[in-house]
Amino acid sequence: MNSRFIAAIIFLSLPALVQAQTTLPPLPLRADALPLFVPKGFAVEVQLTADFNKDGKDDIAAIIKSEDERFLLVALGEGKGLHRIGLGELDAYPLGDATLSAPKGVLVVEDLTGGTTAISSLYRYRYEAATDRMQLIGDDVEIYSRTNQHDSTKVSTNRLNGDRVTIVSKLTDAGDYRVMNPKHSKVKIEKIYIENAPEPSETLGVGD
């Protein structure tokens, strides 16, 4: 049986990974501080202070969540306040809090979702001055078994030049993994931002 088909079956069996369509909360475009960007019923899961546009002012990235919704938010410092430049939906049911970091001003978002079959993701966003938005420049996503029950697939994509590398690790009869040769491919080069970043499952080709 095709490993991608098996992964799709496993994915569809996980209620935590199947989400209904949601609507972005009505957040202000400007606020004096992060708490004013957080709607009623939401809380801050994790937050980060960095300088994404390299103007010397403190910018923020945060993940805000309610019981069944979760979003990545980015706002730049201006004067005494902040103006929001990014808001995108994330999987609502993570396996623990996400991790945010900003090496050299690039926002890195690491997340883990699912169950015994999990999807790990690492997204990199860089500030684009021409649009005043956070552009997706690369992402690494992987579906794997946390209990070593099936194959794993990792897809790494450079969103600036369209290079994609897919690596499958096959579960052997001995219970360990045999890493297959990487497969190189190209994806369409297009501008992607926080608001329209692909879900990890979409990149992996599992689920609907």
Query: For residue 80, what pLDDT band results from cuts at 50, 70 and 90?
Result: confident
Does the pLDDT value for residue 105 go beyond 70? yes
Q: Torsion angle of alpha carbons 44, 102, 196, 14, nearest 10°?
A: -60
Q: Residue 78: which pLDDT band, with cuts at 50, 70 and 90?
A: very high
**pTM of the full structure:** 0.89
Give the mean pLDDT of 168-181: 95
Cβ neighbours of 108 (radius 10 Å): 16
> Given this model, what pLDDT does residue 8 score?
44
Taking CA atoms, 38 is separated from 47, 88, 92, 154, in Å, by 12, 14, 16, 34
142-158 pLDDT, tens digit each? 999 999 999 999 999 99
CA distance 139 to 51: 21
Which pLDDT does position 19 carry in this prediction? 39
- Which residues pair with residue 43 across a beta bridge? 65
Q: What angle do CA 47, 51, 57 make, to 5 degrees?
A: 105
11-48: pLDDT as tens digits: 434 443 333 345 666 789 999 999 999 999 999 999 99
pLDDT of 64 over the 80 cut? yes
Closest by CA to 144, choosing from 122, 170, 119, 177, is 119
Query: What pLDDT sits at residue 16?
Result: 38
Average pLDDT for 105-126: 98
Q: Taking Cα atoms as reference points, which of 33, 58, 35, 37 lies closest to residue 48?
A: 58
User: What pLDDT score was predicted for residue 59?
Assistant: 98
pLDDT one-digit tens code per residue, 121-145: 999 999 999 999 999 999 999 999 9
